[in-house]
Amino acid sequence: MLRLVVRRLLQLIPTLFGLSVLLFLWIHRLPGGPAWALLGERGDEASRRQIEEQLGLDEPLLVQYGRWLGRLVRLDLGNSVKTGQPVWEEFTLRFPATVELGLTALLFAVVIGIPLGYFAARRRGTWLDVAAVSGSLLGICVPVFFLAMILRSIFAVNLGWLPSGGRLTTGINATDVTGFAVLDGLLTGEFDASWDAIQHLILPGLALASIPLAVVVRITRASVLEVLSEDYVRTAESKGLRKSVVRGRHVLRNALLPVVTTVGLVTGSLLSGAVLTESAFSFGGIGSFIRQAISDRDYPVLMGFILFIALLYVLINLVVDLTYGLIDPRVRVN
Amino acid sequence: MRIARPRAAKAIVAALAIGMVATACASDRDESDSSGDSEVFVFGAAGDPAALDPSLASDGESFRVTRAAFETLLEHEPGGTELVPGLAREWSSNEEGTEWTFQLQEGVTFHDGAELTGEVVCQNFDRWYNWSGTYQNTTLSYYWQGVFGGFAENESENVPEPNYVGCEAPDELTATITVERPSANYPGGFSLQAFAIHSPDAIEAYAEDDASGSGENITFPAYSQEGGTVAGTGPFRITEWNKGNGEVTLERFDEYWGETKAGVDTLVFRTIPEESARRQELQAGDIHGYDLVAPADVRTLEDEGFQVPVRGVFNILYLGITQERQPALEDLQVRQAIAHALDRQNIVDTQLPEGGVQATQFIPDTVAGYSEDVQTYEYDPELAQSLLAEAGAEDLTLEFCYPTEVTRPYMPAPVDIYELLRADLEAVGVTVEPKPLTWNPDYQETTRSGGCDVYLLGWTGDFNDAYNFLGTWFDGYSQEWGFENEEIFDLLAEVSAEPDVATREAMYEEANVAIMDFLPGVPISSSPPSIAFSADVNPPTTSPLTQENFAEVSFK
């Protein structure tokens, strides 16, 4: 297992290098540039030239890339052109919020998605199955920003049950220890703050979970249906095994393998999904920061973020591969 | 199987019940909402401030925050655009307009306890003038370079020559600022938030915490990114900037010297980038006000009991024309035909909030120098067609750029405005090729570099001097407009060098007539950007400059 981990991590180096070259060329070829974004309506050609000279954007791309790579090997992602703060600091400041939101969405996707998919398969053709399949289709189709508006309208504006946006209620007493609002409240005994943070997570969590939840429901349903038709399930049932044993050990456990793969994939996609969700709910994580960075053509932030996502994807997939062995002893990781 | 069915149903019902309990428990949030029952006023801002030191900023969101904590030598009258005393109770200049003397208010205390004196004012101006290194980057010193030129020692040939000469304090409550040449930027420039006066102790603290870096790695100084160090004289002091939550918190400054003390204990600016989210947060009671209300939402909000006070207008939306991009556009008759083809009143009636007006020239009628004698171009499609025929441009094709995904104070619904203008142009036989672009930075770059035949753009004034509008566009050749007209360029150069404000106004009127005769583009409208407040607050006096004084806010 250790060899696998080391090999995967070593594979990262050429992957990230190639990705960084492509990204750098692509981002710098986008129309517009940070100078116009910084100047806005008050810009003119002279100011643009001045900013581009001062930011070093008038130098050949190779020189700019070399400078960026030189910083990267020193683990320095550079500074945000817009905020003037180190990219790494901006990430670490906002990453806990995104992780909290991602975990909430993942929780919704797994806790609701797997049982729903399982029961939909077991009750194939019933109202439950139809509801699960059509509901998941809806979850995939409805754009996140539209879903955000609907959820806010129902639960925040009309019912007043949940906050409409943000991460914590303004003015609430919350001590920042780890950056994770829910955890900080528990650590410091400020349970009101924890509860407040949880309330703020529900609507964006649901919106972000809409696609992963739909995917998990459909994959679980398909996988369970496939396993239910396997000979060994029929054999187990005909041997007189208790139904709970058949369902738990033979059906669900075998059906979970593709589901785990899917959960791994959607976990990575939650980060990119957060870009829209966080913006829609004014949830101050990396996602909304990146969305702003895209329109600002904030090159260092974009480069850092995409490489960070790539790194995270590889690590998550590594964890997924390692998990296979735990779920299915037939799979040996080496 | 029959047994399992109710179990499955039970499981789902249980899951739903848990969800309902979770949300039902949340229903008491209104009672525990700390912003609802105390003196905390929360305002929804469209973006984060760039810095809490206004001299480093150039964006409206930064200034909205810092204006509550910092004051300038001159201010604008509440609800208007005329200059009134700020930290200076009186001001005057020599005949040449090169020496500006300010008599300061007595008993003004900074948030950190320091006293305002003439020396302190000079210390502020000298600090900006002596900026070096990273501070000479336009990102950090945009307004200084625009109003006072360069620095004591320019470090790049792209930095303009300095116009600032020095500052003296002949007595404790007087400061005299000397400039090399007169400019239309004075005295209006002294009202810019970028030149707000900082405490001398804070300035010393700033020096220990300088901006640094080069190339892409420019770092804003740490003091400008957190509450606690910056200190002005305003009715609030900035105490915290929680970047994670996107909130800047300001507390009432009890020793404030002015008459309008803060009406609430705490003022919070919370960043909510999406307009629909800002509206829903107001409706949900999570914030007490927000800016840039979509015109389509105004009626709904008013019907629901929210306050949507109307601002005066201080902006211009225009149809830009890049003459050198297409020979036909260099023909005055063609430009006149375009102007006559556009039903601008229809845009005012259907697209702008209450208070919007059709524009006749490139400044709104609230700016000194507005002329009643300019050539006007009434909506007349038949005349437009005949002008095109006379010019031999019946088959005119125009690439029309318009921005997407943006709302500007002067242009609340760009796509809808574009559609109306396109229909007007097509009605007189012009073929329109649409070119939609994302606002930032594609649209900015394309229009400014002359990449469109016609395009929509606008401007909100910084202070009440017509040069702030006209000089921005027509003080010389630019790719955006693509024309050479020495008469207009010379007129604006002369007016910029004229120290007497009254004489300057007459010259602006003349310039406006010349500009509208030449018709470099078509001024369309002036629009009051809407601002909304909840029913339980006394809102501030709205400002055409979008410079509301949040000290006026209180709860009913």
Inside any domain, residue B515: yes
Residue A31 neighbours by CB distance under 10 Å = 14
Higher-confidence position of B460 and B269: B269
% of chain B surpassing 70 pLDDT:
91
Substitution target in A112, A182, A282 with the highest count of B β-carbons within 10 Å is A282
**Which of B219, B284, B457 lies closest to A156 in CB terms?**
B284
Instruction: Give residue-wise pLDDT tens across range B263-312.
Output: 999 999 999 888 888 999 999 999 999 998 888 888 899 999 999 998 88
Confidence of residue B73 (pLDDT cuts 50, 70, 90): very high
Which SS3 state, helix, strand or coil, does residue B490 take? helix
The verdict on A110 touching B (C-beta cutoff 8 Å) is no
- What is the structure's pLDDT at A330? 67
**Which of A31, A42, A165 lies closest to B286 in CB terms?**
A165
Inside any domain, residue B214: no
Domain of B277 in residue numbering reads as: 7-49+234-310+530-555
- Residue B408 sits in a domain whose CATH number is 3.10.105.10
pLDDT at B342 over 50: yes
Place of tokens 């000290």: B551
| Distance (Å, whole) CA B449 – CA B482 | 9
- Residue B99 sits in a domain whose CATH number is 3.90.76.10
**Which of B22, B271, B439 lies closest to A202 in CB terms?**
B22
Does the beta-carbon distance from B277 to A282 stay under 8 Å?
Answer: yes
- Are the beta carbons of B286 and A165 closer than 8 angstroms? yes
| Distance (Å, whole) CA B331 – CA A197 | 63
pLDDT at B313 over 80: yes
Does the beta-carbon distance from B441 to A295 stay under 8 Å?
Answer: yes
Confidence of residue A75 (pLDDT cuts 50, 70, 90): confident
- What is the structure's pLDDT at A331? 64
Amino acid at B74: L
Confidence of residue A311 (pLDDT cuts 50, 70, 90): confident
pLDDT at B443 over 50: yes
**Counted domains in chain B:** 3
Instruction: Give residue-wise pLDDT tens across range B15-50.
Output: 444 444 444 444 444 444 444 455 899 999 988 888
Question: Chain B: nearest CA to A2, how far in angstroms?
Answer: 37
| Distance (Å, whole) CA A51 – CA A58 | 9
Q: What are phi and psi of B215, to 5 degrees?
A: 55, -140
Both B535 and B522 in one domain: the answer is no
pLDDT at A333 over 70: no
The verdict on A288 touching B (C-beta cutoff 8 Å) is yes
Q: Kindly list the residues from chain B whose CB atom is less than 8 angstroms away from the CB atom of residue A112.
A: 15
Both B128 and B152 in one domain: the answer is yes
Maximum Cα–Cα distance for chain B, whole Å?
99
- Are the beta carbons of B225 and B120 closer than 8 angstroms? no
Instruction: Give residue-wise pLDDT tens across range B96-139.
Output: 999 999 999 999 999 999 999 999 999 999 999 999 888 887 77
The verdict on A265 touching B (C-beta cutoff 8 Å) is no
Both B98 and B200 in one domain: the answer is yes
The verdict on B31 touching A (C-beta cutoff 8 Å) is no
List % helix, strand, coil for chain B (3-state, nearest 5).
35, 20, 45
% of chain A surpassing 70 pLDDT:
95
**Helix or strand (DSSP H, E) at A117:** helix A87-122
Both B453 and B478 in one domain: the answer is yes
Average pLDDT of the residues in B526-552: 93
Both B17 and B106 in one domain: the answer is no
Does the beta-carbon distance from B286 to A163 stay under 8 Å?
Answer: yes
Confidence of residue B67 (pLDDT cuts 50, 70, 90): very high
Both B153 and B104 in one domain: the answer is yes
- What is the structure's pLDDT at B236? 97
Q: Kindly list the residues from chain A whose CB atom is less than 8 angstroms away from the CB atom of residue B213.
A: 79, 84
Which SS3 state, helix, strand or coil, does residue A215 take? helix
Both B78 and B189 in one domain: the answer is yes
- What is the structure's pLDDT at B23? 45
Inside any domain, residue B468: yes
- What is the structure's pLDDT at B38? 59
Instruction: Give residue-wise pLDDT tens across range B350-360.
Output: 888 888 999 99
Q: Kindly list the residues from chain A whose CB atom is less than 8 angstroms away from the CB atom of residue B444.
A: 32, 36-37, 39-41, 43
- Are the beta carbons of B554 and B40 closer than 8 angstroms? no
| Distance (Å, whole) CA A324 – CA A333 | 8
With CA atoms as reference, report the closest residue to B313 among B246, B350, B358, B264: B358
Higher-confidence position of A75 and A197: A197
Q: Kindly list the residues from chain B whose CB atom is less than 8 angstroms away from the CB atom of residue A224.
A: none
| Distance (Å, whole) CA A230 – CA B432 | 64
Inside any domain, residue B58: no
The verdict on B131 touching A (C-beta cutoff 8 Å) is no
- What is the structure's pLDDT at B72? 97
- What is the structure's pLDDT at B269? 95
Both B31 and B142 in one domain: the answer is no
Higher-confidence position of B484 and A247: B484
Which of B:41-60 have CB within 8 Å of A? 42, 47-48, 50-51, 58-59
Question: Chain A: nearest CA to B399, how far in angstroms?
Answer: 18
Phi and psi based region of residue A75 (left: phi greater than 0; alpha: psi -120 to 50; beta: remaining): left
**Helix or strand (DSSP H, E) at A187:** helix A181-188
Inside any domain, residue B352: yes
Please give the DSSP secondary-structure letter assigned to residue B162. P
pTM of the model: 0.80
pLDDT at A332 over 70: no
With CA atoms as reference, report the closest residue to A301 among A90, A14, A38: A90
Question: Chain B: nearest CA to A120, how far in angstroms?
Answer: 9
With CA atoms as reference, report the closest residue to B36 among B537, B437, B538: B537
Inside any domain, residue B54: no
Helices of type H across B366-448: 381-390, 414-427, 444-448
Both B424 and B448 in one domain: the answer is yes
Both B476 and B522 in one domain: the answer is yes
β-strand partners of B460? B315
Confidence of residue A174 (pLDDT cuts 50, 70, 90): confident
Average pLDDT of the residues in B170-178: 96
Q: First CA to last CA across chain A, in angstroms?
A: 5
Average pLDDT of the residues in A289-316: 82
Confidence of residue B217 (pLDDT cuts 50, 70, 90): low
Does the beta-carbon distance from A162 to B138 stay under 8 Å?
Answer: no
Minimum mean pLDDT range among A100-114, A290-304, B258-272, B354-368: A290-304
Minimum mean pLDDT range among A11-20, B73-82, B163-172: A11-20
Question: Scanning every residue of chain B, which has its alpha carbon at the shortest distance from the alpha carbon of A54?
Answer: B215
Torsion sign across C-alpha atoms B93, B99, B102, B103: negative
**Which of A55, A78, A202 lies closest to B23 in CB terms?**
A202
Q: Kindly list the residues from chain B whose CB atom is less than 8 angstroms away from the CB atom of residue A79.
A: 213, 216-219
Question: Chain B: nearest CA to A199, how far in angstroms?
Answer: 7
Confidence of residue B431 (pLDDT cuts 50, 70, 90): very high
| Distance (Å, whole) CA A101 – CA A279 | 12
Which of A:203-242 have CB within 8 Å of B? none
- Residue B258 sits in a domain whose CATH number is 3.40.190.10
Inside any domain, residue B226: no
Per the prediction, chain A carries an average pLDDT of 83
Q: For the residues of B68-119, what is the DSSP string, one character each?
A: TT---SEEE-TTS-SEEESSEEEEEE-TTS-EEEEEEPSS-B-TTSPBP-HH
pLDDT at B538 over 80: yes
Higher-confidence position of B20 and A55: A55
* Pairs of CB atoms within 8 A across A/B: 239
The angle at the Cα of B398, spanning B393 to B403, to the nearest 5 degrees, equals: 155
Does the beta-carbon distance from B15 to A115 stay under 8 Å?
Answer: yes
Residue B20 neighbours by CB distance under 10 Å = 11
Both B266 and B336 in one domain: the answer is no
Instruction: Give residue-wise pLDDT tens across range A77-109.
Output: 888 887 778 888 888 888 899 989 999 999 999
Does the beta-carbon distance from B50 to A83 stay under 8 Å?
Answer: yes
Both B474 and B345 in one domain: the answer is yes
- What is the structure's pLDDT at B14? 42
Inside any domain, residue B250: yes
Which SS3 state, helix, strand or coil, does residue B475 take? coil
Question: Chain B: nearest CA to A262, how far in angstroms?
Answer: 23
Does the beta-carbon distance from A85 to B220 stay under 8 Å?
Answer: yes
- In this prediction the ipTM stands at 0.72
